[in-house]
Amino acid sequence: MYGWIWRHLPGPFAVRLVLALALAVGVVALLMFVVFPWAEPLLPFNNVTTQ
């Protein structure tokens, strides 16, 4: 999968590297700000207590 993405990015190595990093940062941001907050109420980890 990563090879397919790398082959389809345009430009020379430096441009591909910057685009791949931007793509990775975008995926992480999407997960942190959209997917994880949406899924948090559905997870069974809300009532954790320590003694």
For residue 18, tell me if it sits in a domain: yes
Kindly state the tokens that stand for 5. Answer: 């993405």
For residue 42, tell me if it sits in a domain: no
For residue 12, tell me if it sits in a domain: yes
- pLDDT for the residue numbered 46: 67
Kindly state the tokens that stand for 13. Answer: 């190595």
pLDDT digits (tens, 9 = 90+) for 12-51: 999 999 999 999 999 999 999 999 999 888 877 766 666 6
User: Domain containing 28: what range?
Assistant: 2-35
Q: Which of 26, 6, 25 is nearest to 17 (CA)?
A: 6
Q: What are phi and psi of 44, to 5 degrees?
A: -85, 25
For residue 25, tell me if it sits in a domain: yes
Total number of domains constituting the chain: 1
